Structure formats: C-alpha cells, structure tokens
C-alpha cells in the first residue's frame, strides 16, 4: 500500500469507481481507491441497474446522457462487460396534468439534443404488451433508456482505472481522517496511513461517517427501497424481444424485463428510513427483511394497470438501503473550509448519474472547474439550516413523491419554517402565501381577505394570478413593500478590502455613498456571480446577491484570499430588510427618514446610513422592480418596528405588500436577469447583457484576459426578451425556443408582466438572430406545454424603456 498519493477515493461502489476512472482519464496516475470490504458492497450490488436521462435539471440530464453513452467505452477499455441492455423506455401519463408534465420534459430534452417522442397508446402497447392502455392518456418514448449489470459496470470502471495506473485497496476500512500539517489529508486505515493531497468521500451508505471524521454532518439519509422479480411470464416470453423499460407515474412503479420475468419497483408513500443515525460498519452484502404489505397499495395499482403481473408469481423480493439527499440530487464538490476534501455522495441513481458525477468531480479536481453549471448537485446549495431534522423530513417527502408531479409553482410542506424573520407573523396575518428559499420562508404573494392562503399547483396560471396582478398594479401606481431578507448579504472589511475586491470583481467599485453593479468572473471569463456593491464609507463594503448561492459564493470568496488582510462576513439572518418601490416610494421614505432623500440629495444608486422611523438603517436607492425604489436594511430586532411604521405612514399612499411573484413579474417587464436563471457559471457577461458592467480599463482582475477576448470575438448567443402570445400558461424556464422549424435557444425564466399585460420570456438565442430579431422576417416560437406559441423579440424593455422612472 502506498503511503503518499495525489488523491484517495474512499468508497468502492459505482460512484467511487467512476471518480477513480475519470481521474485517471484526466491524467492523474498516482491515485488510489480505498474500500472497506469488496467493491459494490454498499447499495451498488442490489441496485436494479436502470438508466435514464429524465431529470428536472437540464445539466443533470445531460450528465445522465453522458453516463449511458460511456458504458460502451468502458467495455472497450476494460474488456469487462457492463451488461448493457438499451431497450428504450416509455413514460406513461394517466392524467391530463401528467401529460403536461411529459410535454415539459420533452421540451427540456430538446435543448440538450435528447430526442424523445410521443407515441400512441397502441404503439406503447406494442413495445410493452403487458399494459392495459385503458388506464393511460399518453406515452413518451425515449430510445436512450435501459439497464446494466451493477457489478459489471463497477468492475469495468475499476479495471479501466487500474489499466491507467490506479491502485485499489479492498478490505481496508478507513478509521480516521485528519488534516496533514504540511497540507492534504492523513487517511488512517486498518492497514496503515496514507498521506493524500486530495480526498474524495464516495462512501455511499457510510458517507455520513466519513463526513463526521472531519466535522461535517452531511444532509443524507438512507431509505429502504423494495422491488420484486417475478417468475417467468408467458406474456413476456411471447413478445420475442426484450421489453422496453416502463414508468407508470400514477402507479408509482417502474418496470423492466429480467430473464423471462419482470422487475417491478416502487417508491411507496409510506417509505421507511434505514439506520437513520449511523450506518453499521459491519453491514455489507446483505438485504433487509422484505415488507410487501408496505408496498401493497402500489402493487395493487400496478396489477390493475398491468394485469399480467397480477397473475405472476414472485421469484424474490429485494429490499435494500439507498442514500438520498433532501431534494433527491447528488451532493458533490469541494467543501468550504476543508481544502482538498471532496464529496461524491447522495447519488441514489448511480447507474444513470455515476459517470456524470465522476466526470464532473474529476474536472473540478484537475482543472479547478466542473465544466458546466452543476449547482443542482453542489453541496453548497445546502446551508447549516439543512440539519438532521430537516434532512430526515425532506428525504422522506422526496422519496414518497419520487413519481409525483412537482409543479413549478408548488411549495412542499415538509421541514418548513426552518428559518423565519421577525416579521413572519405579521406577514402571515396579512395573508402571505409562503415559499422557502435556502431554508428561509419568503412571501410569494398575499391572498385577499376571504381567499384561502394557498396556491393551486399547476403548469398553468393559478389562483395567484389575480392577486399578483393587483400587487403589481399597486406598486407601479403607488407604492409597494417587499421583504428582501432572502437576498444574500456580505460585509467586506479590512485594509486590503478595496484592492481585493477590485481584483475579484469585474466592475468598478463605488465611491463612498454610492452603489455599483458588477459581475464576478472565473479565469475563463465565465460568470461566477452578479452583485450589487454598496459603500457607506471608505472602509466598509456591503455586497448583495443571490440568497440560494450564499454558500457557493462564500466558498469562492474564501478560496481566493491569497493572503489579503480582508474579512468577508455573511450577514445572513443578522441583517434583514424591505424594499419599497413605486412612484410614491420617495414620499413614503421622506416621511420617516431623518435626512434629505430628495432626488437631488439622494439620487439613483445612492447609499447611506440613515435613521428611518428612528431605526438605524442602511438605505440604498435601487430596486429590482425597475421602478423608483429603495432598499432598507436593519438589524432583526428593528424589523417589526420598521414594518409597522412603513405600513402606517404608507396607508394613505395606497401601500400594498407584495411578494416574490410580483417582483418576478416586474423584473421581467424590465428584462432584468437573475442569478441561477439568466446568469450562471455557463454564461459569459457579454452574451448575458452584463458587458456594460465589465470595466476592462480599470486594471487587472480575475477573468480580464478572457473577457477581452470574448468581447473582441463577439458573443455567439445573446440574452433577449420575448413577448409571447399565449392564453392560460406562461413559460417558467427551460422551454425550447424555435425558429424556422429548429430549436435555436432556451428560455431561462418567464411569466406574465401584469402591468404591461403581456406574457414574457427571457431566453438565449444565437447572436445573429438576436441582432435581426426585431425585424418582421425573424419569428420565434416558445414551446409551452407541447405547443409552439408565437413570440416576438423586443429590443427595449416593455416597462419604462428609457429608465426615467427608475432614475427620476
């Protein structure tokens, strides 16, 4: 056994083996895999081995497609069979809502070049003859589905990695992990200690234990998962070729052929956690006690929808644990505060996602970048609020809803009120309908008196449509009040803070008393952030950004200190606030502020410490609504008082509370993009419309050379605003944009602009089409629920195109 290595991967399941292989493929040779028992000893060996591309996040779906395509390459390199059965698959819709869901999924697939097609129920029955088509309304066919042999795949990864220089140590439990004094990690095993420059936690069922060795409590929980294998079925044998995979969403079941019988698995509503506190170290190649009674309701539906199954005997029942994260996606990437420690955990769909996770992590470790936006899998999407109670509640909810529709406007009930602000009660009493973002309760909209404080989940316009419209009108015509506490807030101080920020950010820093908007770039010129930077005095900078990306950005900040004397502190729940916006917002502020806030004394992009309603307040003249507006930031103990004073003094001005749905509507009317939507690590500033904030002449900064190059070359695509002709459904995001019969772009976000009375979508399209898009010769269509809706490109925002109201 080596005593020093470049990287040590801990865990010999399909994910660990994939990471090892991809590291060697990327050129690292001094790498090892350490496995406590035999390869596949955790969840891998008893997995059903299914593979598919369907995922709610397009980039994760892309990585799943990569995984499926990889298996042939693995076989050629290793000489090991992966047991590939590329049978194709059908997804069955039993309700109109599920049919809408499949239409949305198909549109997302188009963006990635993943071709799926709707087939008739007769065609579905022809390739899956055991179904009773009377129970279904439609079927989506995907040729790129099937299953593999779990053991074969894992050993193919392992053999391919060995051929490229890696070593694998079986029966070598890790008993301790600690930082090495000279850097890297000391991996203490029962057979000796290895000094590893990098460590990968691919521990699967034991990932929590590996995390606790370094002080991490990972948001993971194992669930018991059952599937049955039937006896031989004459209906299967008579078909003459292997049946396609099948998912029956209403029956909460998946099926594939096994020999001359079928595998039938289900994600039952009454899911049971397994070993919720810790995984026994002596657990291995063993199964859990079957509990068919627990899955009986799902089996009954399956027997009704697929009658031949009801007549088949059960050859065996598999019940084994799989690890899940709260949202069902993997938990991967570098860990803030632990240099050289990487996660490859929570990968419950290992044979769909294992290859993509291995590729992503290898890119990240070797090149310093995952290669694409993988925030949907990044461990930074969870904060300290994702504690054990939250994790257990959300995992069980997610498991029970594995085949349920989660609508784009739906907020799930488990583990709510993890984080609330002091005005939660007052806003609830005012009719707030709540959502949760980064664990924080956020008002989505406010229900009028007499209307239920809940929203009907739908792909179409919901019961929130009219109340949100009223909130937008009140803000545009008078004054609206929005709680901004969900934004990320950072305070940057220290003698090197100005120089450090100048180097880190692509835009010019504001002078004291001013605000500036600036992107943050990676060395390759792609975006890493989009911030508002405010400066109350020479030595203190307040930075505001995306709330859900707080952990992601803190990790980026801290990894780029380079010895500077600077402190970056996330304000989190210690700084809360409001936005007031609309033509009467200045009048409202003037009634409460101790100081001159007139247009001349406090112009657009001003920032100051003022007392508002007797409360010490950071006041910025800026608003994401694109209207005249102000952001007011206070300590938590002062928030309730400030809210009461604003509502009292704004009553005669028509003040109305508004939520994030109204804010979204108004920012779409201005064509404003948002982080994780229009702006991501896949995008460059000049294609995203942020080029005007990149100060190429200010001196050197991270990404400057790449930004100069991309500006000179010109962007290949551009972010545009499309006005869509639609009736009862708007774009949400990830819809395909069509031109001349071809998919040419993608919607990043959309909705209804209630003040301009127009359905709006922000989208990326080729630069040439964007330049000519306003002409009558260029027409676009946005695919909404399977229908291509006419869309017109506008070169100016629908609301206040000159910006006179915002700056006035």
Q: Which of 162, 146, 149, 148 is nearest to 17 (CA)?
A: 162
* Dist CA 380 CA 216 (whole Å): 13
Instruction: Determine contact, residues 243/236, Cβ cutoff 8 Å.
Output: yes
At residue 787, φ and ψ (nearest 5 deg) are -110, 135
CB-based burial label for 747 (10 Å; 0-12, 13-18, 19+): buried
CA atoms within 13 A on the CB side of 400: 16
- Please, are residues 718 and 764 in contact by the beta-carbon 8 Å criterion? yes
CA distance 697 to 704: 10
CB neighbour list of residue 577: distance below 8 Å, 6 or more residues apart: 483, 484, 485, 618, 631, 632, 633, 634, 639
Dihedral (Cα; 124, 128, 129, 131), 10-degree rounding: -80
Rounded CA gap, 644 and 503, in Å?
42
Q: Which two tokens stand for residue 47?
A: 């997995």
Pairing status of strand 742-753 against strand 758-766: antiparallel
All residue ranges of the chain with pLDDT < 50 are none
Task: Please spell the DSSP secondary structure of 186-226, one letter per residue.
Answer: EEEETTEEEEEEEEEE--GGGHHHHHHTTT---S-EEEEEE
The tens digit of pLDDT for each residue in 668-697 reads 999 999 999 999 999 999 999 999 999 999
Please give the C-alpha separations between residue 397 and each of 219, 375, 403, 414, in angstroms, as whole numbers: 14, 21, 12, 7
**What's the number of CA atoms in the CB half-sphere (13 Å) around residue 158?**
22
Closest C-alpha to 72, from 151, 164, 160, 161: 160
Rounded to 10°, the helix 58-78/96-111 angle is: 60
DSSP state of 463: T
Spatial separation of the C-alpha atoms in residues 623 and 262, rounded to whole Å:
58
Strand (E) or helix (H) holding 781 = strand 780-784
CA dihedral sign, ordered 49, 54, 57, 60: positive
- HSE, side-chain direction, 13 A CA sphere, residue 392: 11
Q: Are 541 and 598 in contact (CB under 8 A)?
A: no
Euclidean distance between the first and the last CA atom of the chain, given in angstroms as a whole number? 71
Nearest to 590 by CA among 562, 561, 628: 628
3-class secondary-structure state, position 562: coil
CA distance 541 to 521: 19
**Beta-carbon count within 10 A of 417 CB:** 11
Helix (H, G, I), strand (E, B) or coil at 258: strand
Instruction: Count Cα neighbours of 620 within 13 Å in the Cβ-side half-sphere.
Output: 26
Q: What is the rounded distance in angstroms from the CA atom of residue 459 to the CA atom of residue 462?
A: 8
Closest CA to 179 of 209, 207, 214: 214
pLDDT of res. 56: 80
- What is the rounded distance in angstroms from the CA atom of residue 537 to the CA atom of residue 608? 8
Q: Hey, is 733 helix, strand or coil?
A: coil
Give the model's pLDDT for residue 450: 85
**Which of 573, 572, 606 shows the shortest CA–CA distance to 589?**
606
Task: Give 300's Cβ-side CA count (13 Å radius).
Answer: 5
Task: Give me the DSSP letters along 637-663.
Answer: HHHHHHHHHHHHHHGGGT-EE--HHHH
The one-character DSSP state at 419 is B
**CB-CB contact of 626 with 806 (8 Å):** yes
Burial class (CB in 10 A: 0-12, 13-18, 19+), 457: middle
SS (H, E, C) 738-759: EECCEEEEEEEEEEEECCCCEE
Q: What is the pLDDT of residues 247-274, one digit of tens each?
A: 999 888 999 999 999 999 999 888 999 9
Using DSSP, state whether 529 is helix, strand or coil.
strand
Residue with tokens 């980064």: 438
Contacts of 717 (CB under 8 A, 6+ apart): 687, 745, 764, 765, 766, 767, 770
Token readout for 315 is: 């050859």
């Amino acid at each position: 056994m080596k005593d020093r290595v470049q990287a040590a991967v801990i865990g010999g399941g399909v994910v660990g083996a994939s990471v090892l292989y991809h590291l060697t493929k990327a050129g690292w040779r001094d790498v090892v895999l350490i496995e406590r028992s035999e390869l596949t000893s955790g969840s891998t060996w008893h997995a059903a081995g299914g593979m598919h591309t369907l995922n709610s996040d397009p980039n994760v779906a892309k990585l799943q497609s990569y995984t499926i395509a990889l298996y042939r390459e693995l076989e050629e390199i290793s000489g090991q069979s992966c047991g590939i059965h590329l049978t194709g698959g059908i997804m069955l819709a039993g309700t109109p809502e599920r049919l809408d869901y499949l239409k949305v999924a198909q549109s997302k697939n188009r963006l990635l070049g993943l071709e799926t097609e709707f087939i008739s129920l007769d065609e579905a029955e022809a390739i899956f003859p055991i179904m009773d088509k009377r129970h279904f309304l439609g079927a989506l066919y995907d040729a790129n589905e099937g299953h593999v042999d779990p053991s074969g795949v894992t050993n193919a990864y392992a053999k391919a990695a060995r051929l490229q220089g890696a070593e694998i140590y079986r029966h070598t439990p890790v008993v301790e992990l600690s930082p090495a004094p000279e850097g890297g990690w000391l991996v203490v095993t029962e057979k000796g200690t290895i000094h590893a420059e990098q460590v990968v936690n691919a521990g699967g069922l034991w990932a929590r234990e590996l995390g606790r060795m370094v002080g991490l409590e990972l948001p993971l929980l194992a669930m018991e998962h059952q599937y049955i294998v039937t006896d031989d079925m004459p209906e299967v044998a008579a078909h003459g070729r292997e049946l396609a995979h099948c998912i029956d969403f209403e029956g909460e079941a998946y099926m594939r052929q096994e020999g001359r019988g079928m595998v039938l698995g289900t994600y039952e509503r009454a899911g049971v956690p397994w070993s919720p506190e810790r995984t026994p170290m002596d657990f291995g190649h063993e199964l859990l006690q079957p509990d068919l009674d627990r899955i009986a309701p799902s089996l009954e539906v399956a027997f009704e929808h697929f009658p031949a199954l009801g007549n088949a005997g059960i050859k065996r029942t598999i019940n084994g644990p799989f690890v899940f994260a709260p949202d069902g996606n993997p938990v991967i990437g570098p860990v803030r505060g632990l240099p050289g420690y990487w996660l490859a955990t929570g990968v419950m769909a290992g044979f769909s996602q294992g290859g993509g996770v291995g590729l992503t992590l290898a890119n990240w470790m070797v090149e310093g970048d995952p290669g694409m936006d993988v925030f949907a899998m990044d461990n930074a999407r969870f904060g300290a609020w994702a504690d054990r109670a939250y994790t257990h509640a959300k995992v069980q909810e997610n498991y029970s809803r594995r085949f349920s529709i989660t609508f784009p406007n739906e907020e799930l009930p488990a583990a709510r009120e993890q984080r609330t602000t002091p005005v939660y009660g007052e806003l609830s009493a005012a009719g707030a309908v709540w959502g949760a973002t980064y664990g924080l309760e956020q008002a989505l909209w406010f229900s009028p008196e007499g209307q239920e404080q809940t929203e009907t989940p739908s792909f179409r316009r919901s019961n929130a449509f009219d109340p949100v419209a009223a909130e937008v009108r009140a803000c545009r015509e008078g004054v609206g009040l929005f709680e901004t506490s969900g934004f990320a807030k950072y305070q940057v101080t220290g003698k090197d803070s100005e120089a450090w920020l100048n180097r880190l950010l692509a835009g010019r820093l504001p002078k004291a008393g001013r605000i500036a908007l600036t992107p943050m770039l990676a060395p390759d010129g792609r975006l890493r952030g989009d911030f508002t930077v405010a400066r109350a005095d020479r030595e203190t900078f307040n930075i505001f950004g995306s709330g859900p990306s707080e952990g992601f950005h803190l990790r980026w900040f801290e990894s780029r200190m380079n010895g500077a004397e600077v402190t970056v502190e996330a304000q989190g729940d210690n700084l809360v606030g409001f936005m007031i916006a609309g033509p009467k917002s200045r009048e409202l502020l003037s009634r409460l502020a101790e100081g001159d806030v007139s247009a001349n004394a406090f112009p657009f992009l001003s920032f100051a410490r003022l007392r508002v309603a007797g409360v010490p307040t950071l006041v910025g003249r800026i608003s994401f609504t694109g209207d005249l507006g102000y952001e007011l930031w206070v300590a938590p103990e002062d928030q309730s008082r400030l809210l009461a004073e604003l509502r009292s003094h704004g009553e005669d001005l028509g003040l109305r509370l508004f939520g994030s749905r109204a804010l979204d509507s108004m920012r779409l009317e201005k064509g404003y993009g948002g982080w994780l939507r229009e702006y991501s690590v896949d995008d460059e500033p000049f294609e995203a419309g942020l080029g005007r904030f990149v100060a190429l002449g200010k001196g050197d900064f991270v990404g400057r050379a790449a930004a100069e190059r991309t500006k000179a070359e010109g962007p290949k695509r551009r972010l545009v605003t499309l006005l869509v002709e639609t009736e009862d459904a708007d774009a949400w995001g990830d819809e395909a944009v069509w031109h001349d019969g071809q998919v040419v772009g993608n919607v990043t976000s959309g909705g209804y602009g209630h003040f301009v009375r127009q359905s709006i979508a922000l989208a990326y399209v080729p630069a040439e089409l964007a330049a000519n898009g306003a002409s009558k010769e260029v027409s676009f269509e946005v695919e909404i629920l399977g229908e291509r809706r006419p869309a017109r490109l506008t070169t100016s925002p629908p609301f206040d195109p000159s910006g006179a109201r915002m700056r006035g």
